[in-house]
Amino acid sequence: MHEIICPHCNKAFKIDEAGYADILKQIRDSDFEQQLHERLELAEKEKKIAVELAKSKVGSEMQKSAAAKDVEIQELKAKLDAGEVAQKLAVTEALNAVERERDALKNELEKIRQDSHAASELAEAKRVQSLQETAAKKNAEIQALKAALDANQVAQKLAVREALSEVEKERDVLSNSLKQAELEKQLAEKSLKDKYETQIKDRDDAIERLRDMKARLSTKMVGETLEQHCETEFNRIRSTAFPRAYFEKDNDARTGSKGDYIFRDVDEAGTEIVSIMFEMKNESDTTATKKKNEDFLKELDKDRAEKGCEYAVLVSLLEPDSELYNSGIVDVFHRYPKMYIVRPQFFIPIITLLRNAAMKSLEYKTELALVKAQNVDITSFENDLDKFKTAFAKNYDLASRKFKTAIDEIDKSIDHLQKTKDALLGTDRNLRLANNKAQDVTIKKLTRSNPTMAAKFKELDSQGSLDSE
């Protein structure tokens, strides 16, 4: 794939070998070689200038560093010489002072000897001993000064040696840096040379490959070859750019026609992002009857509508000399809705552009689907509520009729019980009357109009009296 920047809109497009060959067709080989030669000469001059600048910069830095180190060495040497002179002067002064003291002591001793001949030997011996002790002390001081002077000289030598060692180390570091800079310069020169040689070789190979591709386009890449080319380009980036996309041949010809490929992409929730119906068209340069892109737009729009695709794209190598179709992606919305015509090098870019544009409206689609789902839920709720109301009304009507029937039956039972009650009350009244009548029955009343029975009762009464006697 090659990346081309449009000079009008400054947009970058990736094109395949066939598209690159079409673009290179408009460039003469001699002009390309001349421009390439001029650019290589310019790159060579820039390389030489950069190398010279690097050399001069490194040399200037080395000279500055060496001059600074020389000045530092001279200052150290001057300090060392001044220290040695000062030490020598101090030693000389110390020796002169000791010698003067010694001479003074000798003169004093001689004077004492001359002036004290009369003194006792003990005093003289004590004085001589004191003078000897003083001389010993002075000698010890002189030895200490000499030892200190020697130690100072050793310390100065060590300091000078350490300074020289630091200077030598820095000198070695600068030398190594210079060597490393030289080596890096050589490596950079070699790298630039290899880079330009590789670029030239790659460009030559690309030119040769594109020439060969262009030669084969007119004879081999026809019909299914263009389809296979587009399918290969898509499968090359499917796993990274379109992991959930569907891109297969359209094998459904139930409506009488079919496109070449159908592309559908969905999000993680399964909502469709974009769908595209593709048609690939090409023909040999030796074909007698040349086709035009417009000859296939009507059928493509029909296939798009029948297969439920949102967009339609015609990938075409027809009309190869048309500046309109060679300029990039061409929309034909004025003829058919949501339809584009592209060259094969814009096959992947058109999918990417349409998918990215659809991603912006995916949120609105999601919200619309949510609203539709909510409307469906509300409609279902209303339907369920209507069903509940209908069922409740039906059950209420049935229960109401049953309740009325039960009330009627209860009323009938009440009437029946009331009649039974009335009958029972009537029987009770009759029984009470019968009982009253029975209580009113006496023998006198029974025999009032019956002489026979009166005679019988009378006879019974008399027999009862006799028995009691």
Question: Which positions ≥6 away from 266 have C-beta within 8 Å?
Answer: 244, 245, 272, 273
Question: Which positions ≥6 away from 457 have C-beta within 8 Å?
Answer: 443, 447
pTM: 0.36
Interstrand relation of 330-331 and 261-266 (parallel, antiparallel or unpaired):
unpaired
Decide which of 402 and 131 is more confident.
Answer: 402
* C-beta of residue 302 within 8 angstroms of C-beta of residue 275: no
Nearest partner of 303 among 314, 294, 289, 290, judged by Cα: 314
Predicted pLDDT of residue 313: 96
Q: What is the per-residue DSSP string for 313-327?
A: EEEE--STT-HHHHT
| CA dihedral over 410, 413, 419, 421, signed as positive or negative | negative
End-to-end CA distance of the chain: 162
Predicted pLDDT of residue 223: 47
Q: How far apart are CA 300 and CA 163, in angstroms?
A: 89
Predicted pLDDT of residue 1: 62
- Count of CA atoms in the C-beta half-sphere (13 A) of 392: 6
- Is the pLDDT at 286 greater than 70? The verdict is no
Predicted pLDDT of residue 210: 58
Residue 279 to residues 20, 226, 335, 385, Cα–Cα distance (Å): 21, 10, 17, 51
Interstrand relation of 311-316 and 339-342 (parallel, antiparallel or unpaired):
parallel
Quick one: DSSP state of residue 271?
-
Distance of CA 448 to the CA centre of its chain: 135
Task: Pull the structure tokens for residue 49.
Answer: 């200038």
* C-beta of residue 68 within 8 angstroms of C-beta of residue 122: no
What phi and psi values does residue 390 have, to the nearest 5 degrees?
-60, -45
Amino acid at 173: V
Predicted pLDDT of residue 342: 95
Cα pseudo-dihedral 332, 336, 339, 344, rounded to 10: -60
Decide which of 127 and 28 is more confident.
Answer: 127
Residue 36 to residues 24, 45, 190, 281, 369, Cα–Cα distance (Å): 14, 14, 20, 35, 57
* Residues of the chain above pLDDT 70, percent: 74
What phi and psi values does residue 326 have, to the nearest 5 degrees?
-80, -15
Task: Pull the structure tokens for residue 363.
Answer: 């949120």
pLDDT digits (tens, 9 = 90+) for 175-203: 787 788 778 878 887 887 787 788 788 77
For residue 346, the tally of other CB atoms under 10 A from its CB is 23
pLDDT digits (tens, 9 = 90+) for 97-139: 667 777 777 777 677 667 666 655 676 666 667 667 766 777 7
pLDDT digits (tens, 9 = 90+) for 226-262: 888 899 999 999 999 899 999 999 888 777 778 889 9
Supply the angle between the helices 29-115 and 121-217 in degrees, to the nearest 10.
Answer: 180
Predicted pLDDT of residue 218: 42
Predicted pLDDT of residue 352: 93
**Beta bridge pairs of residue 278:** 261, 313
Element containing residue 281 per DSSP (H, E): strand 272-281
- Is the pLDDT at 308 greater than 80? The verdict is yes
pLDDT digits (tens, 9 = 90+) for 346-363: 999 999 999 988 887 777
Three-class DSSP category at 121? helix
Decide which of 265 and 450 is more confident.
Answer: 265
